Amino acid sequence: MSFTHLHELIRIADEKQMSIADLMLEVEIEQSLHTEKEILERMNRQFSVMEEAARKGVETPVYSRTGLTGGDAHRVGEYLKKGCSFLAPQTLQAMSFALSVNEVNAGMGRIVATPTAGSAGILPGVFISLLDSGRFSRDELVRALFTAAALGLVIANSASISGAAGGCQAEIGSATAMTAGALVELGGGTPEQVGHAVGLALKNSLGLVCDPVGGLVEIPCIIRNGLHAVTAIAAADMALAGVKSVIPADEVIQAMYMIGNALPESLRETGLGGLAATPTGRALRERVFGKPQGME
Amino acid sequence: MRQRRQAERFVSEFLANHREWSDGLDMKYQSAFEMIGPVMVGPSSSHTAGAVRIGNLAREILGETPRIVEFRLMGSFYETYQGHGTDLALLAGVMGYPTDHPAVSEADQRAVEAGLSYAFKKEHLGFFHPNTVGILLHGDQRKIDLIASSLGGGKVEVQELFGLPIRFSGEKNTLILHHADQRGFLAKVSNALDAEGYNIARLSLERWRRGGYAITVCEVDEEIQNDLPEILHSKVPQLKDIRVVQGS
């Protein structure tokens, strides 16, 4: 079983007439020596942690330890109740859940890294909104997490999911692609359409630099999670509509990797460049940590 | 460049003829729970969860209560360690807390209470992943010196142990064998492991010089039973010390 190239994953799924989720489960059983039931139970527990983090910040405002961010998930949740949003309510709800997860994360609360903590809002945000929609059962959604996992493995093994190595495109981009692909499978799309969703979603994340203000996983991380939850849903709909990623997904992943390598260190999670280097970014850093100084 | 292309062509031809071998090639990440997980407290999987795991590994390799620790941080680890709580996470890990423990955020206080003295320094450790830390850890009996990187998503990799280039992830059940470099050592170890029903998944041996002090890291598929170190000591006289890291 190969988790290094998407085209192989798609080919094997086609040949075996299996979903990508079931392929991933099969490999997990083989590698871990655990039973299918044990593995599904473990994923179910991850889902519960996701759900808790997704709802927490929408119900009541959650603030980060630094006080720089927080309350946005709640704001979007309240706005949603007014019923006059531009986005479809369910999409906006996904956004609010995604924001919540990352607010909980910034508050040192419990989350599931999907695939990383900085990008932990996108997949749970979208999945919990789908749970609330009633269109899919909890079990179906838990199973779809294996599709997302398989796609994440391909990206992690052939490129990177680390912001320090590949910029935010490696974190937010990977999460968006994983989510978009999983949605396509949930929506009844073919493995090939899953591949297109990954390509489309990741293409729209290319070049995203990792420039956290003060080196904190807050600004712009939280907002990016909220907005990319919407991107993931849009990419899934695009692929299900039959739109193709003209550049094959595997090549998009490689492009992401090469762009990551070409990024200067200041834009790879050092908190030195980009938004972190703006006057406001520097001022916020000082507010949290005081004047810059050496450690010793 | 040309050599590299030739090597790549060789590998791809080899794999085309030996499909079954391609399983696992260059697959650093293998489990679904590496992408959907770990469950952790924020804010960063590589700077917090990964750092906790590196600390956990250091503690397990030390094998006793740590008293003094010095962290040498490089790259992104140094630049953003306070913002990500990397300092707290490393301390929490060294004290043995898991990635989702609520006490991670107050690990500095807990360290003071536990009588663990600590220091953080900036240092260029070599050409490693940007998120890399060197840990000098002292207990009452032993001390260890390791360099480890956090690769993203909570995954970690030890790069050096006591200055030797020993790489392992700590995900599989791992034996760290300290021994004299003598003929027949690995044969005795593998015989003993085979007799006890263990399958060796990965093995590496490094030494300072011929006949000198050596370290072998051996990953096995099966869970390591408590009696294994004693059995190995009795069957392999060259062994000086054994540390066990149970896979995560």
Report chain B's C-alpha Rg in angstroms: 19
Residues of B within 8 A of A116 (CB-CB) are: 44-46, 152-154
Measured in angstroms, the CA of B96 and the nearest CA of chain A are apart by 18
Tokens at residue A120, please? 């932990």
CB A207 within 8 A of CB A170: no
A1 CB neighbours in chain B (<8 A) are 23
Q: Where are the domains of chain A?
A: 6-289
Cβ separation of A117 and B48 shorter than 8 Å?
A: yes
Nearest to A217 among B30, B43, B150 (CB): B43
CATH 1.10.4100 given to domain A6-289: yes
Block residue for tokens 């990352």: A102
On whether the CB atoms of residues B167 and B239 are closer than 8 A, the answer is: no
Strand ranges for B101-212 from DSSP E = 117-122, 132-138, 143-152, 155-161, 173-180, 200-207
DSSP 3-state of A252: helix
Q: How many CA within 13 A on the CB side of residue A237?
A: 7
What percentage of chain A has pLDDT greater than the value 70? 97
- Which of A41-55, A71-85, A246-260, B67-81 has the weakest average pLDDT? B67-81
> What residues of chain B lie within 8 A of the CB of A108, using their CB?
41-43, 85, 104-105
Q: Are A231 and B40 in contact (CB under 8 A)?
A: no
Identify which of A42, A148, A217 has the shortest CB distance to residue B84. A217
The predicted-structure confidence for A143-173, as pLDDT tens digits, reads as follows 999 999 999 999 999 999 988 889 999 999 9
Are A156 and B35 an interchain contact pair (Cβ–Cβ within 8 Å)?
A: yes
On whether any CB of chain B is under 8 Å from the CB of A52, the answer is no
User: Between A and B, how many residue pairs show a Cβ–Cβ distance under 8 A?
Assistant: 196
pLDDT of residue A295: 43
**Interchain contact, A46 vs B36, CB within 8 Å:** yes
Tell me whether A186 touches chain B (CB under 8 Å): no
Q: In the prediction, which pLDDT does B80 show?
A: 78
Cα nearest neighbour of A42 on chain B: B33
**Calpha distance A213→A270 (Å, rounded):** 9
Helix (H, G, I), strand (E, B) or coil at A14: helix
State both tokens at A108. Answer: 């040192």
Task: Determine if the pTM surpasses 0.90.
Answer: no
Contact B122 A105 (CB under 8 A): no
Choose the weakest-confidence range: A115-129, A203-217, B24-38, B60-74: B24-38
From the list B43, B81, B85, B100, the residue with the least C-alpha distance to B248 is B100
In chain B, residues with a C-beta closer than 8 Å to the C-beta of A3 are 27, 29-30
Helix (H, G, I), strand (E, B) or coil at A258: helix
CA distance B123 to A153: 32
Across residues A89-112, what is the average pLDDT?
A: 96
pLDDT at residue B19, rounded to an integer: 45
A270 interface with B at CB cutoff 8 Å: yes
In A, residues 79-98, which contact B (CB 8 Å cutoff)?
A: none
Of A116, A157, A165, the CB nearest to B27: A157
Residue B22 pLDDT: 43
Using DSSP's 3-state secondary structure scheme, residue B118 falls into: strand
Q: Are strands B173-180 and B155-161 parallel, antiparallel or unpaired?
A: unpaired
| Residue A249 pLDDT grade (very low, low, confident, very high; cuts 50, 70, 90) | very high
pLDDT in tens, chain B (248 residues): 556 566 656 555 655 554 444 444 456 888 999 999 999 998 888 888 999 999 999 999 999 999 999 999 998 788 878 777 899 999 999 999 999 998 998 999 999 999 999 999 999 999 998 889 999 999 999 999 999 999 888 889 999 999 999 999 998 999 999 999 999 999 999 999 999 999 999 999 999 999 999 999 999 989 999 999 999 999 999 999 999 998 87
Residue of A nearest to B31 (CA): A28
DSSP code, position A268:
B
Q: Kindly report the nearest CA distance between residue A85 and chain B, in angstroms.
A: 30
Neighboring chain A residues of B45 at a CB cutoff of 8 Å: 113, 115-118, 120
> Do A215 and B79 make contact, defined as CB atoms within 8 angstroms?
yes
Cross-chain CB nearest to A112 (options B36, B83, B121) = B36
Nearest residue in A to B21, CA atom: A1
